[in-house]
Amino acid sequence: MVSGMSFDQEVELISMWVAPFARGQGVGDELINTIVQWTISQQKRRLMLRVLAGNDRAAALYIRHGFEYPSPSEGDADAHETGERLMVRMQA
């Protein structure tokens, strides 16, 4: 399952979940590819998400798909309060 919302200039990946029995089989890759394609179809330049600090497996998946941690001045100031870190993928 993956869900996202489209805003003025960006799409936010709100949630993503893969059933435990399906993990490690490429399902997460397909879900991310689907939301990337939807972001492109919406003509948005930025796809963003928040990942829980310490969820290294999810972060590695997102990094593999071109997401990066932006500089702290770009909106990650609340990470210490929420336990989530912002990740961003810019579209060409």
Q: Which two tokens stand for residue 28?
A: 């997460």
Higher pLDDT among residues 59 and 75, named by residue: 59
Number of domains within the chain: 1
Q: Which domain CATH number covers 31?
A: 3.40.630.30
| Radius of gyration of the chain, Cα coordinates, nearest whole angstrom | 13
Report the pLDDT averaged over residues 55-68. 96
Helix (H) or strand (E) holding 45: none
Sign of the CA dihedral 67, 90, 17, 33? negative
Report how far residue 63's alpha carbon sits from residue 80's, in angstroms, rounded to the nearest whole number. 21
CA–CA separation, 75 and 78 (whole Å): 8
Q: How many residues does the chain have?
A: 92
pTM: 0.85
| Model pLDDT for residues 38-52, shown as the tens digit of each residue | 999 999 999 999 999
Task: State yes or no: pLDDT of 90 exceeds 90.
Answer: yes
Q: Which domain holds residue 39?
A: 2-90
